[in-house]
Structure 1
Amino acid sequence: MAENKEDSAAIDIEGLVYYSIKAQMSQDLFTSPNCCIFKTPTRLLELNEKAYVPDAYSIGPFHHGHPKFEETEKIKIKYLKGFISRSPSPETMLRDLINSVKHVEREARECYAGPIGYTPDEFITILVIDGCFIIELLRKSACKKAIEHNDPLFTTASMFGSLSRDLMLLENQVPWMVLERLFNLTGDLTGNNVNASLIELVKYFVSSDLWIKLPSVHPPIQEMKHILDVIRKLMVSSIEAGERQIDWTPLPSATSLVEAGVKIRSGESIKFDNGVLDIPPLVIHEKKNPSFGILSVLNNATQIVNLGSLPMLCS
């Protein structure tokens, strides 16, 4: 009798272990090929977490719901209300926006690395509010007369500075397919004679408000993933255009020089003597140009998931 109980207990434990392992095996353990919005690597967060996490504005699902973003969530809702209020039927427009994103909810979810702990309805809500907020922001940036006198984003330097920085974070992105759907659906609601395309609005905002120099003329940008990806591809396209116009041989990277036996040290000017290369240090202020590190992370991430064979901005 005792043996039967022991056998039964062993079978029960075996069954629990079996179903536990099977449940883990049923999970999607690999990054989707459509993934384009990544979590910052732990090693970078350990070095300087503040450089890679939003300070005041949460965009997308990764940081949504944090208590420190409660006040700026109100600003996003205000932007959404102002945006749809220009429609003849705001209620209908809001429903159309929701349904439009609902059609690509699954694809949008696959754009994010790792599981998203929100129901489809919750996820759609985040994308609609954040996506419309970004589009309204871009339109106001392109048409300053559309800015209300009490708009805190454009009248308070510190708030706009925080927003500009947070919009450039890798974890703080909305899929381009979502932005395009919302933008195309609301193309007639500008009310300010802003007839530019979405990518033109992004270029204007980045060039004028973020002070990042982008090419005025560029080849068509293919397979846009999100705003940060568009900026990266625009920057790369200008580099490629310059390479086609100038016959030059790219300089070897610092790594390849060291591997070849060259010693590199900090100096006041560029000088090479007896196998020693002196180079002045490059100082990058995170407050002035936080995009440098973010774009570097994006470069590495796109190479890992093979989103395209674009050249690296730095090596």
Structure 2
Amino acid sequence: MEENQWMKIVNEELGRLPYTSEESAHWSKQSIYRIPASVTAINPTAYTPYLVSIGPYHHGSDNTKPMEKHKHRAFLHFLERSKMPIHAFWDALAPVAQDLKEAYDELSPEWQDDTHKFLQLMIIDGCFILEILRSSTTLTNAPPPPSEAQPSIVRDYAPNDPIFSRHGKLYFVPHLRRDMMMLENQLPLLVLQKLLAVQTGQPFEEYDLTKLILGFFGNFIPTRNMTEFNHCNHMLEIFRKRFLLEEHKVRGPSSRHIHGVDIIHPVKNLVAGGIKIKRNKTSSIKDIFFDSVYRVLKLPQISLDESSESVYLNQMAFERFHVGAGNEVTSFVFFMNNMIGSSSDVTILQNYGIIENFIGSEDDVAKLFQSLTKGITPDPENSLDEVHRQIGEYCSKPWSQLRTEIINTYFTDPWAITAAAILLFVLTILQTIFSVLAYTNPR
């Protein structure tokens, strides 16, 4: 290409360069992202669906092809139950087709240029999701299978359906739930909202869909907090917001960043230094705070199972790529990783009721948090900055360091336990006195 031709092209591109407000509007529409290879290379299986593809990114992959027939079958049952013609659903989504495309940060020409094919995918996948949500909350009250003498005249799922039955709920739905929490495997919530509005023939209510999604993920939320979920973009964002609710108290922004002294020590060292660990009454991962007077660190209870790694990584990926999402989940993961230096730290947290371990050994839990932080840089202005600062200040005090050294040095030797216990008791009394004096008279 000649130099003058290149300059001409650049000048034409400059003429088409959008204004800042237009660019801002463009970026704000995106909420479903392709995770780059630099991230997925560390743990590819955490971002790749096992059973079902939702949306265009993994459609047609070898892993998810067998589920396509079940998705189409669910689509037909959805239409049968709604008693509405197919064109009613098409007409509801067609006007917002471009908005749905713009929710994805990257679309291949296969989907970008063929709106008919794209809408077909949106409708089938959306109906499948709604059928999964519905069946997962109603199967417990499903009628018994009809007898051979009186076959059912209702064209619904058979009692031995491999997916939409009690059997499917036990063996397949947990894996589907994991797949439906992956960032690349999301569908714009607008699709489900439009489909539900046509099916019910009523104006869409965000409350009803949100409640259905939270019920599917097993996270009940009080009605008074349902407005917190307004304007979510997809199911993963709803699940993430559930992680952040029920905060105990509002905290202002921290005045300091995390420096060397503010790094959280392993749990065994915190306990050795005189810090008490208590389980918080709420389940919000934001609800972590340290009472420096009474030396109490309160933490929420978390349950860990085989899907936890993928769940955390995809929420962290959403925070990483969606501008303005926040960094609460990422901050929590780094906080826990700093507290868990070995399996003995996991044992302590289990004993205090902080960790429910459904993974395996304590060592497996320690390795889980180590793997979650690989290749990820924490935000220096993270949501737990103030807690880091307070604990760092406490651990830097001479009597806290002396107490930790005594326990780690002498409490492993049976002959020295008695003498060390007496000294530790005296130090604890002195520490309590100085803490109260510092609180009542800061000078």
Q: What TM bracket, shorter-length normalisation?
A: 0.7 to 0.9
Give, in whole Å, the separation in 1 of the partners of 2:216 and 2:50: 20
Give, in whole Å, the separation in 2 of the partners of 1:21 and 1:84: 51
2:181 is aligned to 168
Give the residue type in structure 2 aligned to 1:62: Y
Measured against aligned partners, the alpha-carbon deviations of 1:124-178 in whole angstroms (never above 9, x if no partner) come to 1110100011011111112112763122224244432321110010111111111
Indicate yes or no: 2:232 matched with 1:216: no
Indicate yes or no: 2:328 matched with 1:312: yes
2:74 is aligned to 79
Indicate yes or no: 2:130 matched with 1:135: yes
Q: Give the C-alpha shift of residue 13 in structure 1.
A: 4.3
Correspondence list, 1:208-247, <5 A: 213-217=219-223, 218-220=225-227, 221-239=229-247, 242-243=248-249
Measured against aligned partners, the alpha-carbon deviations of 1:189-208 in whole angstroms (never above 9, x if no partner) come to 9xxxxxx821111121111x
Indicate yes or no: 2:79 matched with 1:109: no
Task: Pick which of 99-108 and 218-227 moved more.
Answer: 218-227
Could you list the runs of 5+ residues in structure 2 that have no partner in the other structure? 143-155, 274-296, 332-443
Q: Give the C-alpha shift of residue 65 in structure 1.
A: 2.1
Larger radius of gyration between Structure 1 and Structure 2: 2
How high is the TM-score relative to the length of structure 1?
Answer: 0.73
Give, in whole Å, the separation in 2 of the partners of 1:171 and 1:17: 36
1:9 is aligned to none
Q: Helix, strand or coil for the counterpart of 2:30?
A: coil
Task: Pick which of 261-270 and 108-117 moved more.
Answer: 261-270
Give, in whole Å, the separation in 1 of the partners of 2:321 and 2:261: 30
Change (3 A) 1:298 1:227: same
1:149 is aligned to 159
Indicate yes or no: 2:64 matched with 1:69: yes
1:206 is aligned to 217
Give the residue type in structure 1 aligned to 2:87: R
Give the residue type in structure 2 aligned to 1:111: A
Change (3 A) 1:56 1:219: closer
Give, in whole Å, the separation in 2 of the partners of 1:49 and 1:40: 10
Q: Helix, strand or coil for the counterpart of 1:112?
A: coil
Give, in whole Å, the separation in 1 of the partners of 2:263 and 2:194: 53
Indicate yes or no: 2:335 matched with 1:301: no
Could you list the runs of 5+ residues in structure 1 that have no partner in the other structure? 1-11, 190-195, 208-212, 274-278
Percent of aligned pairs with the same amino acid: 22
How high is the TM-score relative to the length of structure 2?
Answer: 0.53
Q: Give the C-alpha shift of residue 285 in structure 1.
A: 4.8
Give, in whole Å, the separation in 1 of the partners of 2:96 and 2:304: 39
Give, in whole Å, the separation in 2 of the partners of 1:114 and 1:173: 13
Q: Contact conserved, 2:49 with 2:63, CA < 8 A, in 1?
A: no
Greater relative CO (CA pairs within 8 A, separation 6+)? 1
Change (3 A) 1:251 1:53: farther
